[in-house]
């Protein structure tokens, strides 16, 4: 454990900025390059880095596989639910214009909601894939 002190300290210093950058990419994706997929991969990379430095079991304790299944499903429901909401409001599937009093505001709200759902799903799936690959050959936990 002690032989990787520098890696542990550096990881503790860079993981929070990585997560903050993921949030920046998530919520500014409609104004600049980025969005849900990119933010999900960036956020997942922070958790994967945590798992590589501190151990997969520590990462699983921080974000359990059960939580990943729930958040991945929730992200898909957010995406699909937004489309259903636009249909119930009288528009087509994912026609964001009907989400607000002004079509421009509706487009903005719709993009934020859908990209959030995509980001949550992508991050959850990427972390789950890491858990599966990192846990190959181990018998103690087959929860993923």
Residue written as tokens 């990427």?
126
Q: pLDDT per residue over 23-35, tens digit each?
A: 999 988 767 777 8
pTM listed for this prediction: 0.87
pLDDT band at residue 135 using 50, 70 and 90 as cut-offs:
confident
Average pLDDT of the chain?
Answer: 91
Q: State how far the Cα of 15 lies from the Cα of 76, in Å rounded to an integer.
A: 26
Whether the per-residue pLDDT at 138 is higher than 80: the answer is no
φ/ψ region of 114 (left if φ > 0, alpha if ψ in -120 to 50, else beta) reads: alpha
DSSP 109: H
C-alpha 20 chain-centroid distance: 12
Q: pLDDT per residue over 64-100, tens digit each?
A: 999 999 999 999 999 999 999 999 999 999 999 999 9
How many other CB atoms sit within 10 Å of the CB of residue 95?
Answer: 17
| CA nearest neighbour of 83 among 57, 117, 60 | 117
39's tokens: 């933010």
Whether the per-residue pLDDT at 142 is higher than 60: the answer is no
**Residue 121 to residues 3, 77, 91, 133: CA-CA distances in angstroms?**
35, 10, 25, 18
């Amino acid at each position: 454990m002690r032989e990787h002190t520098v890696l542990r300290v550096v990881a503790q210093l860079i993981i929070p900025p990585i997560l903050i950058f993921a949030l920046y990419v998530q919520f500014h994706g409609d104004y600049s390059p980025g969005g849900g997929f990119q933010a999900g991969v960036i956020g997942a990379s922070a958790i994967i880095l945590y798992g590589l430095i501190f151990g997969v079991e520590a990462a699983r304790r921080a974000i359990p596989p059960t939580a990943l299944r729930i958040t991945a499903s929730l992200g898909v429901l957010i995406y699909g639910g937004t489309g259903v909401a636009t249909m119930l409001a009288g528009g087509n599937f994912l026609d964001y214009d009907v989400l607000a009093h002004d079509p421009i505001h509706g487009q903005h709200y719709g993009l934020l909601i859908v990209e959030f759902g995509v980001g949550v799903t992508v991050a959850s799936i990427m972390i789950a894939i890491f858990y599966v690959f990192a846990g190959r050959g181990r018998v103690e936990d087959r929860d993923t």
